[in-house]
Amino acid sequence: MLFPMEYDDVLTRLKQLSTERGLSQSDLAQSLGVTRAAVGNWWQGARRMRWESMAAWADLLGYELLLSRTEVGTVASSEDEALLARIRAALPLMSSPMRQGIATFADMTLAESQDTQVG
């Protein structure tokens, strides 16, 4: 039986393994194809990494994440989950321009996040 792991537990373990192996944040950034700032933000807890980044970091260290994408749902806070549920419920009631505005905001946020992560 697999047990979901909390984001903070996985992050702590990845940081521990990285330190034990003598990998600097710059080494990790280069190996993962992200900026040093992105790794620093993850390391300090200023930003949460995506599932793909978490899995790549674990793979780099030979640490097997026995998690499915749904189990990594614990990465999102309960406030995030509540907000997503409210947005999903409201979508059918929204006008087309309102939906487009939300889509544009989401695209801009994702693009900004990718710019932060990729050198």
**Residue range 54-73: average pLDDT?**
67
Model's pTM, two decimal places? Answer: 0.52
Count Cα atoms within 13 angstroms, Cβ side, for 24: 6
pLDDT score of 73: 42
pLDDT at 47 (0 to 100): 87
pLDDT per position as a tens digit, 80-94: 677 777 887 888 888
What's the N-to-C CA distance of the chain in angstroms?
Answer: 39
Q: Hey, where are the domains in the chain? A: 7-117
Q: What's domain 7-117's superfamily in CATH? A: lambda repressor-like DNA-binding domains (1.10.260.40)
CA separation (Å) from 55 to 20, 50, 79, 88, 100? 19, 9, 24, 27, 32
Task: Tell me the mean pLDDT in the region 31-59.
Answer: 88
Please compute the mean of the pLDDT values over residues 13-18 and round it to a whole number: 90
